[in-house]
Amino acid sequence: MIKQMQKKIIILALFAGEIMMKSGAEIYRVEDTITRICRACNIPYVEVFVTPTGIFLSLDKGDDSEMFTFIKRIKGTGIDLGKISEINQFSRDFVNTDLSIEEGMERIKQIAQSKPYNMWIKSLGAALACAFFCLLFNGSIQDFACAFVIGAVSYLLSIGFEQLETNYFIKGFCCTAFAAFLALICTAMGLGNSSGPITIGALMLFVPGVAITNAIRDFLVGDMLSGVARTAEAFFIAISLATGAGVVLRLWVLFGGKII
């Protein structure tokens, strides 16, 4: 049977890795963090293999004891660079200080439960991002105001889909379709001058920029499996965004609407 101390170390390391993966961390960073935590507990042999959907951890105390391998399934991903930074700092503190395993677990639980920004602050940020992207694509002041509102509403809709645990393709399709429809309504009512910049501004909220960046970084460090997986994820998200907006624009024209 596995010793109780080893079990606690494994749970601690896997929990830290799980938080990082669900927060959008790169594969090599997750593997490095898990290895640091295990070796800080005097485990000489640590082998970690991480994919976007799972963590495989093998360890051996090196005293002719049995080797143990554990698997942690990763479900659901997001973007939280703050949590990634906090886990990174925790792993270094765990190595360089006399933090006990129990204290480390308590600290990781606090990081996992932390919510630095509430929904309304996030919605405001999304609205501003959408509005300023609209300006970058030659939108007017009226378009800026419309994009601000549409950005906030679209982001709230995406939160609703996340709570329903909807897959990323359906979420991206519905959110961009809804944003494109609102943009067309605004221009048809004379509230905005052009639906194009407004739609593009809303679409930019959902572009998988972090997934693309992580895919490139994974390729550069040799994590080909993860690089291919994340590239495919970014590709299908991009398709969902384009399809959502395209379907609405096409239906608008078919039903006699004009695209301004």
DSSP notation for 48-98:
EEEETTEEEEEEE-SSSPPPEEEEEE-------HHHHHHHHHHHHHHHHS-
Is 50 in contact with 30 (CB distance < 8 Å)? yes
**Would you say residue 62 has pLDDT above 70?**
no
Chain centre distance of CA 158: 13
Distance CA 58, CA 9 (A): 12
CB contact set of 12 (below 8 Å; sequence gap of 6+): 37, 101, 104, 105, 108
Which among 5, 1, 14 is positioned nearest to 65, based on CA atoms?
A: 1
Q: What is the pLDDT of residues 76-129, one digit of tens each?
A: 777 888 888 888 888 888 888 777 888 888 888 888 888 777 888 888 988 999
CA gyration radius for the chain?
A: 23
Q: What is the pLDDT of residues 179-189, one digit of tens each?
A: 989 988 888 88
Q: How confident is the model at residue 3 (pLDDT cuts 50, 70, 90)?
A: low
Q: In whole angstroms, give the CA distance from residue 175 to residue 193.
A: 22
Mean pLDDT value across the chain: 84
Query: 97 burial class (0-12, 13-18, 19+ CB within 10 angstroms)?
Result: exposed
By three-state DSSP, how is residue 167 classified? coil
The model's pLDDT over 132-179, given as tens digits with 9 standing for 90+, comes to 988 888 888 888 988 899 989 998 888 888 888 778 888 888 989 999
For residues 105 and 94, the answer to whether their CB atoms sit within 8 Å is no
The residues, ordered by sequence, that sit 6+ positions from 225 with a Cβ below 8 Å of its Cβ are 51
User: Looking at the DSSP assignment, which residues form a beta bridge with residue 56?
Assistant: 49, 71
60: pLDDT strictly greater than 80 = no
pTM: 0.78
φ/ψ region of 58 (left if φ > 0, alpha if ψ in -120 to 50, else beta) reads beta
Q: Which of the pair, 234 or 77, is modelled with greater confidence?
A: 234
- Token pair, residue 175, equals 């959110």
